[in-house]
Structure formats: structure tokens, C-alpha cells
Amino acid sequence: MPMKITDVRVLPVNRFLFVEVETDTGLVGLGESGAWGFLDASAEAVRSFATCLVGQDPLRIEHHWQYMYRAFHFRGAAIMGALSAIDIALWDIAGKHFGAPTYQLLGGRCRDRARVYYHVGGKTTEEIVRSIVDAKARGYTAVGHLTPFLDEDRSVPYYETHAQKIGRAIDRVRQYREAVGDDVDLCIEIHRRLKPAEAIALARGIEPYHPFFIEDPTTPDNFDSMVHIAEHIDIPLATGERFHTPQEFALLVNKRAVDYVRPDVCLCGGITGAKKIAALAEANDIMVIPHNPLSPVSTAACLQIAASIPNFALQEYPGDDRASATERYIGGKTEDTDKSFRQSDVVKNALRVVDGYMPIPDLPGIGVELAPDAVNRFPYERRPVRTRLHVDGSVVDQ
């Protein structure tokens, strides 16, 4: 008799949404949704998908992926986050069933460790520089989530002239580079806040400082805008964290408007979706940098991709010794004001970084388990709706 799914459980914790898939053999798989601000909607999508999964064989992963993906003719963050969480949990079950890390079922290891880039930030240039220098001292060889525009509070009305906006941003990148020399790669994060002309001006200005990439310089809605930027700059472009489907990545790849694809394993269709996107990228000589601003569960899922694909470049790592990225960048909390919670608290065994690399684990499945008391210890918090405004009252992208 084949193994059967007996339950699909939704577990909201802190600012994360986890999913556990239970089986009649006692094996339990763990996954995470990356829908960010729409986790409540994603939870309901999980519950809808559960109605077609209970009683099914959890090892028919591709079949279940196709069934969920094509069931309702709709996509979007909430739906794809739900599908992703379930898919990761199914791969976790498969690894445990066969007594092997999930990456072994994906073709085995291509590397023994994954180079990571560490989140840095600050509300002033000095704070960011100190954060970069500290990361270097801790052994990191790449830093990211690195904005040239500061992590200012979204409640503060924004205004700069064009000259100030671009000039100050270029000068900050100069200071970042001078602070650590060429020993640390700088992954420049724009968070879609520029129009194409602004993005081109900024990219040309920071080119002498050799950033690893410039990420999401403009909104992801119009692919031709990214094409326009790509045609006018000589810095590698990275994007994809807001894409939900392999087809979206294919459109941008075919337009030659991306150098590093950034699939979010918890949003793009899970491990199954990320593997499809990585293969598409490989066929077009494009490298993969999995997006990962989430929990240690997301990190563990990302490592299955990092281990098993030949075209892996770098792994985003928000740091498990700190509060969640949502709390730090959206909720306004910092390491100085919130000492009570660390991301590593939600799991039994968070993965570790050694000299800027994360060793590929050899535990069955994805290699992490939720802490048994996580749901009660860290009650779920809905992400607040906080959009920054200009001094004239209009909306600013940040």
C-alpha cells in the first residue's frame, strides 16, 4: 500500500507561515509560504489545496504540483505561496522516506557548501558602513539587501532632488566599497524604487565600484522596462523575487534582461518550481541566486536547490541570529530594540554559516524541524500596511 497524506496543517508563527503535511506512516513534511504580506490569504489557499491532497500518495510530487498549479486557472502570490509551501513539505517527506537529503533526489550534490550573502542595513550611511565592516569581520565575503538609499522609516515623508537622490546613492556605494576593499562583494538592492532613466543613471555611476549585481532597479510589472535598463548599463542585473511562475522567468530570460535569476523557493512553486527555473537559466548561461528573506525553513529549502544545480552563484541569508526581515525593514524593529526573538528560535536546528559559506547538510529531507512550541511562543503577527509617501502626499516605492 502506498503512503497516504492524512492532514495538511497551517502553522502561522511570528511573521512566517509554515505548513506541515502529515502521513499515515508518521512522516511529517515541513514547508513555508513566501507570500509575505498576504500570508492570511495564502493560509486559506493551503486549506483549499488540502481538500485534494488528503488521501493521496505524497511521493507523486510533480503530479500534485501540476494538479494544484493548473486547477483554478489563477496565479498570484497567495496561491503560489501556498503551492510552494506544500511542495517543499512533500519533498521533505520524500527525503525522509528514502532516508536521504532532498537534494539527493534532485540529482545529488554539485558542491559541498554554498556561498552566502548576509543582510546588512541601517538608517544612516555610517550605520550601513559599520554593518558591512562587521559582516566582513564575521567572515562573510558578500553582503546584500544593501541599499544605496538607506533603510529610512516609511512613516517619514520623502523628498530629494534628482541630483541629491542619485549623487548621494553613488557616493554611498563608493563608501561601502572603500570600507571593505575588494574582499567583499556588494549586492546592491534597489527594491524597485527607480524609474528606468534613474536606474540607468545610478548604475552608470556605481559601475567603478564593481557591484556583484544591481537588483530590482524598477518595478517588475513591465518587462520591457527591465530590457531598456539592461541595454544601457554594464552591471549584472538580478531580479525575480516577485515572479510566481517559470513562464515569467522565461519571458525575461528570452529578452536577455537578467543576468542572475532570483527565484523565491517559497513563492515560485517550491523546490519543484525553482528546479524548473534553474534549468531554464542554465540553458541560457544564467546563474541562480535564490531569494530568501524568510525563516530557517526557507533557508533549508533554498539549500536543496543550491546543492543540486550547476549554475548556483550565491545564497541570500538574512541571518538567523536576528529578528525577521519583515520586523526589521517593515515593522520598524531593530536588533537593538528587539532582543526577545531570533529566527533560529522557530526551529530545532538552524543551519550555520562558516567563513561565509553554509555547509550542505546531510540530514534527511530538507534538514530542519519546527520547534515544538513555536506556534505558542511566537504568536502570528500580520504584516502592517505601511507605504511611504512623498512630501507632496503621493506614494513612493521603497
Question: Which residues are bridge partners to 3 per DSSP?
Answer: none
The sheet with strand 28-33 has its strands ordered as 5-13, 16-23, 28-33
Give dist(CA 292, CA 188) in Å, integer: 15
Q: Which of 145, 228, 291, 390 is catalytic?
A: 291
For the stretch 217-220, contacts whose Cβ atoms lie closer than 8 Å and that sit 24 or more positions apart, written own/partner, are: 217/190, 217/192, 218/190, 218/192, 218/194, 219/192, 219/397, 220/192
Q: Which of 191, 210, 228, 232 is catalytic?
A: 191
Give dist(CA 396, CA 257) in Å, integer: 25
Does residue 118 contact residue 142 with C-beta atoms inside 8 Å?
A: yes
Measured CA distances, 67 to 51, 56, 73 (Å): 12, 12, 11
Q: Is 191 a catalytic residue?
A: yes
Q: Is 291 a catalytic residue?
A: yes
Give dist(CA 240, CA 28) in Å, integer: 30
Measured CA distances, 323 to 108, 111, 122, 293, 388 (Å): 33, 29, 14, 11, 22
Q: Cite the active site residues.
A: 191, 291
